[in-house]
Structure 1
Amino acid sequence: MLWGRLDIQANGTIRLQDEELASLRPARRILQILEEEVPKTPAEIEQHLRYYSLTDTPLSPTDFDRLLFTVVYSAYQVRSVQGLDKTTWTGFLSQLVDEIFRDLCKGLCPANTTLLQASWPWKEKPSHLASLKHFYRSNLARTKRDTS
């Protein structure tokens, strides 16, 4: 649904340009989360990042959805802003993605281990992260497999 030409305007207006897709219940729910539950200012995002970093138990489904869609919102901001704002939003995007991996690792990974880094080859990742490979295959691996 996010590829249905999601449009996030500077004034906070969020819509799907594909009207048929936008009329579906799941799409309306995604838009509702993006409009009402996702933090949109740097101060709000910093507040949510502090909350996520202090939480030692896995996030509730609602909090995880908010975190995931905050990543989407931040990615759109990185794409649309310029100058120092781009650096700010890129930093938020990186921190939010780290929080997703931290949350996915809760209860599975040994304490005080390094978070997943996208640039690591799977074979060099700590074993508890490498075991996630089977659950979270990359698009690159899928593309290579599908074209072989």
Structure 2
Amino acid sequence: MPRMRTGVRRCGSLVISLSVIVRLCAVSSLFSIAGSVWTRHQQERSIFLQDASDTFLLYEFLSGGLVIGRNHTVTLKDEELASTRPAKVFHRIVNGRVPKTPAAIANTLANVPSLGETLEMDNFEQLLLASVYAAHRGRLRDTEDRQLWGRLFCQLVGAVTHDLTRQVVRC
């Protein structure tokens, strides 16, 4: 009987990026106070991460792999996962609200609230998903582009980390 491989070889930096992102999601879930931002809406969700189970679902989406199309459209590699209702919400949010060019990401970072202010959940999630996008784009580019996407990733993670811990992250 042939031996099946269950693991998928991944670039070490991407695995580290995913690990950081999942930890940031988990921390945001733990530190959140039950409020209107985190409640489940019967209407269309404007944010994906509404509770801790969504954090684990996001990790499952990301570990299954993403495909970035020529027009910056993000889709899940795993067709079974992509067909689920949560995946449709994820696709709508990541393709509709997440900045996907260096200029758009820089503009989003420039509009991050000043020190001491807390991000709204939709802004937090936008920065978090933009960091996932930047990690993927950096992995697929040449050396010069990798440096640009790496700097953007660091700045995005720094903004998210600052929102959670109030510690400044230098890139």
TM range (shorter): 0.5 to 0.7
Cα drift, residue 78 of structure 1: 0.9
Aligned match of 1:115: 168
Q: CA RMSD in A?
A: 1.8
More relative contact order, 1 or 2 (CA 8 Å, 6+ apart): 2
Cα drift, residue 55 of structure 1: 6.0
Cα drift, residue 116 of structure 1: 5.4
Q: Percent identity?
A: 36
Deviation string, structure 1 residues 6-50 (Cα, Å, up to 9, x no partner): 111343132112121111122112211211111111111111111
- Deviating above 4 A after TM superposition, structure 1's stretches of 4 or more consecutive aligned residues are none
Cα drift, residue 64 of structure 1: 0.9
SS at match of 1:2: helix
Mapped to 2, the partners of 1:19 and 1:61 lie a distance apart of 28
Gaps of 5+ in 1: 107-113, 118-148
Aligned match of 1:78: 138
Deviation string, structure 1 residues 98-132 (Cα, Å, up to 9, x no partner): 101110024xxxxxxx5358xxxxxxxxxxxxxxx
Q: Aligned partner of 1:16: which letter?
A: L
Q: Aligned partner of 1:60: which letter?
A: E
SS at match of 1:3: helix
Aligned pairs for 1:1-148 within 5 A: 1-52=61-112, 54=114, 56-106=116-166, 114-115=167-168
Cα drift, residue 72 of structure 1: 0.3
Cα drift, residue 56 of structure 1: 3.5
Q: Aligned partner of 2:127: which letter?
A: L
Report the structure number with the largest CA radius of gyration: 1
Q: Is the 8 A contact 2:67 2:77 kept in 1?
A: yes
The TM-score with structure 2 as length reference comes to 0.59
- Paired residue total: 110
